[in-house]
Amino acid sequence: MGRSTGPGRPRRYCRTSHRQRDYEARRQAALRDLDPGDVLYRVKDVSRLRDAIYVVEAALHDARMDLADAPSLEEYPAAFQTVAAAVDALIQTPLEPRATTKGM
């Protein structure tokens, strides 16, 4: 954002287009009765994230079951790899907001 050297209050937006996007977001938030800080996500993105979380939960459950009864040292790396692969997939799951009301 450029610094204003003239009189008046400081600029809130660096570009007119950013000011317009903020106005549009506030207008859409008001139409949807959203609170400041609410975020809108696509259903398919949330479903994909939920699926990835479920895979992590299942991998953790399987690892706990595999290690429950006096496991050998060889079983620990396999259990870790199962959980690590599920967590890696979760981390790679994109979740980008469609709209946000933050800062309104």
Rounded distance, CA 64 to CA 72, Å? Answer: 13
Number of domain units in the chain: 1
2: in domain: no
Domain containing residue 63: 16-100
pLDDT at 104: 45
Q: What is the pTM of this model?
A: 0.64
The beta-strand segments (E) located in the chain are 39-40, 99-100
SS3 category, 47: helix
pLDDT at 95: 85
Q: Burial letters for 67-78: b for 16+ Cβ neighbours within 10 Å, e otherwise?
A: eeeeeeeeeeee
33: in domain: yes
27: in domain: yes
Q: Write the pLDDT tens digit of every residue in 42-83.
A: 899 999 999 999 999 999 999 999 999 889 999 999 999 999
11: in domain: no
Both tokens assigned to 67? 């290690």
